[in-house]
Amino acid sequence: MKHFVFLLSLLFAFSSVQAEELKLLNPEQLQSIQTQQSPLIVDVRTPAEWQATGIIPNSHKLQGFDSNGQFDAVKWTAELEKLKTSPDQAVILVCRSGNRSGKIGDILVKQGQQNIYHLQNGIQGWIQTGHPVQAE
C-alpha cells in the first residue's frame, strides 16, 4: 500500500508539470516583444523568398527546409545556438505563412527548448498588417 501511495503521488507530481509548448504570436505581439525584450527573430525561408519580400528588420536568416523539403534538426539547431545571446533568449520563427515555422518550432520544443514562438501567418501576415520589411 505504501508503494501504491508513493507511485500515485509521483504520478500526480509529474502530471501537474506543464510541458513547454510552441507559442503563436500575431504581428502586434511580435512588435511588443521586440520593444520589451531582445528576442532572436529567425527567418527560416529560402534565399529566393527573402529576396522577393525582404525580411523583418533585425531578423536573422537561417533557412530551415532544403529544396527537397528535408530539415536537418541537429545542424540547424547548432546554427541557431550560435545566434543566441543567452540560453533563455526568446526565439521567434518566421516563414512565409506560418507552416514551416510551426513545424520547426514544434521540433525545438520537443528538444526541450523554451521561449520558442512563431509568427502567425508568417511574413505574409506581417506585410498585410502594414509592418515594415528590410530589403535583402
pLDDT at 20: 80
Residue 6 lies in a domain: no
**Domain harbouring 113, CATH code:** 3.40.250.10
The answer to whether position 13 is within a domain reads no
Taking the CB of residue 24, how many other CB atoms lie within 10 A of it? Answer: 15
**Within a domain: residue 102?**
yes
Q: Which residues constitute the domain of residue 59?
A: 19-128
What was the pLDDT predicted at 67? 87
Measured CA to CA, the distance from residue 49 to residue 82 in angstroms comes to 23
Domain assignment present for residue 1? The answer is no
Q: Is residue 2 part of a domain?
A: no
Domain assignment present for residue 30? The answer is yes
pLDDT, residue 15, reads: 39
Number of domains in the chain: 1
Specify the 3-state DSSP secondary structure of 72: coil
The predicted structure's pLDDT at residue 92: 98
Asked if residues 39 and 89 have their Cβ atoms less than 8 Å apart, the reply is yes
Domain annotation covers residue 70: yes
Tell the burial category of 63 from Cβ atoms under 10 Å away from its Cβ (0-12, 13-18, 19+). middle
At 19 the pLDDT is 60
Structural domain contains residue 4: no
What pLDDT tens digit does each residue of the chain (136 aa) get? 454 333 334 334 443 345 689 999 999 999 999 999 999 999 999 999 999 999 999 999 999 999 899 999 999 999 999 999 999 999 999 999 999 999 999 999 999 999 999 999 999 999 999 999 999 8
